Amino acid sequence: MEKALEGASVVFEIFGIPITETIVSTWIVMAVIIIGAYLITRNFNKLPSGAQNVAEALVEGINDFTVQTMGEKNRWFAAYAGTLIVFIFFANISGLFGLWPPTADTGTTIGLGVMTFFIIQYQGIKNKGIGTYLKNILLEPIPIIFAPMNIISELATPVSLAFRLFGNILAGVVVMGLIYSVVPVGIPIPLHIYFDLFAGLLQSFIFTMLTMVFVSMATETE
Partner 1 sequence: MEFTEFAVAAFAVLGAGIAMLAGLGPGIGQGYAAGKGVEAVGRQPEARGSIITTMILGQAVAETTGIYAFVIAFILIGLANGVLG
Cα distance between residue 187 and residue 184, in whole Å: 8
Considering only CA atoms, which of 126, 121, 130 is closest in space to residue 151? 121
Question: Which DSSP state fits 9?
Answer: P
Q: Which amino acid is at 49?
A: S
192 counts as binding partner 1 under rule CB under 8 A? no
Q: Helices 199-219 and 51-70 meet at what angle, rounded to 10?
A: 40
Among 163, 180, 191, 201, binds partner 1 (CB under 8 A): 163
- Under the criterion CB under 8 A, does residue 167 sit at the interface with partner 1? yes
213 binds partner 1 (CB under 8 A): yes
Which residue from 80, 133, 180, 205 is in contact with partner 1, where contact means CB under 8 A?
Answer: 205
Residues 54, 160, 181, 217: which binds partner 1 (CB under 8 A)? 160
Q: Tell me which residues in 92-151 interact with partner 1 (CB under 8 A).
A: none
Q: What is the 8-class DSSP label of residue 184?
A: -
- Give the interface segment with partner 1, choosing from 14-22, 30-38, 43-51, 204-212 (CB under 8 A): 204-212
Sign of the CA dihedral 190, 195, 197, 198? positive
| Site residues for partner 1 per CB under 8 A | 5, 69, 160, 163-164, 166-168, 170-171, 174, 202, 205-206, 209-210, 213
